[in-house]
Amino acid sequence: MVASLYGVEDEQKAIWVFLEQMEGEVERVSLEILSKGRQLADEAGWSLVGLLLGHQVSDQAERMVAYGADEVWLAVHPLLEYFTVDAYAHVVEQAMLKGRPSVFLCGATPNGRDLAGRLAVRLRTGLNADCTDLRLNPENGMLTSEVTGFGGGVLALLESPHHRPQMSTVRPGVFPMGEEDPNREGHVHEMEFELAEGMIHTKLIQRVVGEGVDLTQTPVLVCGGRGIEGKFDMLQEFAHLMNGEVGATRPPVDEGHIERERQVGQTGVVCRPKVAFACGISGAFHFVVGIQDADIVVAINSDPNAPIFEYTDFCIVDDALQFVPALIEAIQMDRATAND
Ligand SMILES: Cc1cc2nc3c(=O)[nH]c(=O)nc-3n(C[C@H](O)[C@H](O)[C@H](O)COP(=O)(O)OP(=O)(O)OC[C@H]3O[C@@H](n4cnc5c(N)ncnc54)[C@H](O)[C@@H]3O)c2cc1C
């Protein structure tokens, strides 16, 4: 077994959270992980450290204290303005070897995944990707990461007893975001580090930001599955009336009925809306992880034995292609009457 660059014997009892930023603004997923980190650190009596890299991001460091960090390690450099895995992995590795945290957490975003994979190799440690929950044993300092495996039928609990840091990535929306507390006190530590242009093998030519939709923020999520036969216009109309957004299971995405960014579930987006509708969806675990934390789940399925009904608060056994248009009409009539 190859030893990690530092081990259990010289680790610091601290949880580090990589604070991913875009254009100087820390991403929501990092704040979600910071909140979870705060809870775990409090339970174990450990410290919580945020690691922030960027160019003009110093104001964000103080904000991270308000969101729960005891300490923020800040690395400021023009070459860190935008993410490149070369520069970021180089600086984060230096920080890790100085701080030697027991636990390192990172958002499972495209950049976070890129960074975490590179770091795991450099530090000779393991990486638990796309975790759906985290626990920290205060007795032995072991992080247990929950991931779904083997087609979704199995929840695997992963531990890294010998290698440090214990590294996990967590997808957006898995943990709720905590409240900002401006009275919290913490320390911002400006790092010294080495970084030169010659270390970076990629060059940012142009950034193109797409319109995009953030399903993690919508209060109402109307999801359609194979059972709605590609009738997403119908769901769009319903979602619009409910001030919500449309999501989908994987089959309609694969069949090209709807954009991939709207896929909900294990390999899509994990959401926590107030209300989630599941229309013509069987209830495969891969999908359910994406909506199981909604306050209310309503399912419409023509099969009374569909597994989705095991996870729902309201079960409607009906043809979604008939039921949803009738519901739209009823809402429209109700609103028209209310406006008269
Ligand atoms: C590694 C891996 C990752 C995956 N990740 C994801 C993921 O992130 N998200 C995801 O969704 N899936 C994912 N999947 C696929 C997942 O396992 C299921 O295959 C998928 O969720 C099923 O989609 P569905 O419910 O739309 O289709 P089906 O399972 O085919 O279900 C269709 C349902 O529609 C009902 N129905 C049919 N007609 C009507 C009607 N007129 N009115 C009402 N109900 C009707 C049927 O009774 C049935 O229950 C993944 C699979 C793997 C192996």
pLDDT 10s digits, 286-339: 899 899 999 999 999 999 999 999 999 999 999 999 999 999 999 999 998 887
Q: Which residue's CA lies nearest to atom 2 of ligand 1?
A: 151
Task: Give yes or no for a contact between 97 and 164, defined as CB atoms under 8 angstroms apart.
Answer: no
pLDDT tops 70 at residue 61? yes
Q: What is the pLDDT of residue 291?
A: 95
pLDDT 10s digits, 247-259: 999 999 999 999 9
Distance CA 5, CA 294 (A): 41
Ligand 1 proximity of 280 Cβ (cutoff 6 Å)? yes
Q: What is the pLDDT of residue 43?
A: 97
User: Could you tell me if residue 134 is left (phi over 0), alpha (psi between -120 and 50 degrees) or otherwise beta?
Assistant: beta
Q: What is the pLDDT of residue 210?
A: 73
Q: What is the pLDDT of residue 308?
A: 97
Ligand 1 proximity of 60 Cβ (cutoff 6 Å)? no
Strand pairing category for 275-279 and 296-301: parallel
| HEC sequence for 152-180 | HCEEEEECCCCEECEEEEECCCCCCCCCC
In percent, the amount of the chain with pLDDT more than 90 equals: 85
Q: Could you tell me which of 259, 171, 253, 265 has the C-alpha nearest to residue 210?
A: 259
Distance CA 60, CA 77 (A): 15
In percent, the amount of the chain with pLDDT more than 70 equals: 99
Tokens 């979870």 correspond to 36
* C-alpha of residue 311 to centroid of ligand 1, in Å: 14
> Any idea where the domains of the chain sit in the sequence?
6-199, 215-339
* C-alpha of residue 280 to centroid of ligand 1, in Å: 8
Q: Which atom of ligand 1 is nearest to the CA of 300?
A: 43
Ligand 1 proximity of 284 Cβ (cutoff 6 Å)? yes
Is the N-terminal amide bond of 307 cis, ω within 30° of 0?
A: no
Ligand 1 proximity of 227 Cβ (cutoff 6 Å)? yes
Q: Which residue's CA lies nearest to atom 6 of ligand 1?
A: 286
Tell the burial category of 222 from Cβ atoms under 10 Å away from its Cβ (0-12, 13-18, 19+).
buried
Ligand 1 proximity of 148 Cβ (cutoff 6 Å)? no
Q: Could you tell me which of 4, 8, 9, 86 has the C-alpha nearest to residue 53?
A: 86
Distance CA 221, CA 217 (A): 10
Q: Which atom of ligand 1 is nearest to the CA of 306?
A: 49
* C-alpha of residue 253 to centroid of ligand 1, in Å: 11
pLDDT tops 60 at residue 167? yes
Q: What is the pLDDT of residue 121?
A: 97
Q: In CATH, what class is 215-339?
A: alpha beta
* C-alpha of residue 30 to centroid of ligand 1, in Å: 30
pLDDT average, residue stretch 74-86: 96
Residue type (1 letter), 227: G
Q: Which atom of ligand 1 is nearest to the CA of 307?
A: 49
Q: What is the pLDDT of residue 211?
A: 75
* C-alpha of residue 330 to centroid of ligand 1, in Å: 28
Q: What is the pTM of this model?
A: 0.79
DSSP per position, 7-40:
EGGG-EEEEEEEE-EETTEE-HHHHHHHHHHHHH
Ligand 1 proximity of 254 Cβ (cutoff 6 Å)? no
Strand pairing category for 296-301 and 314-317: parallel
pLDDT tops 70 at residue 150? no
Superfamily of domain 6-199: HUPs (3.40.50.620)
pLDDT tops 60 at residue 151? no
Mutate to test the pocket of ligand 1, among 154, 257, 286 (most ligand atoms within 8 A of CB): 286
Residue 121, token pair as written in the block:
């190799």
Ligand 1 proximity of 226 Cβ (cutoff 6 Å)? yes
pLDDT 10s digits, 170-223: 988 889 899 999 999 999 999 999 999 999 998 888 888 777 888 988 999 999
Ligand 1 proximity of 276 Cβ (cutoff 6 Å)? no
Ligand 1 proximity of 23 Cβ (cutoff 6 Å)? no
Q: Which residue's CA lies nearest to atom 14 of ligand 1?
A: 286
Q: Which atom of ligand 1 is nearest to the CA of 225?
A: 26
DSSP per position, 247-266:
EE-HHHHHTTSS-GGGBBST
Task: Give yes or no for a contact between 275 and 298, defined as CB atoms under 8 angstroms apart.
Answer: yes
Q: What is the pLDDT of residue 59?
A: 93
Equal fold, 6-199 vs 215-339: yes
Q: What is the pLDDT of residue 58?
A: 93
What integer best gives the mean pLDDT of the chain?
94
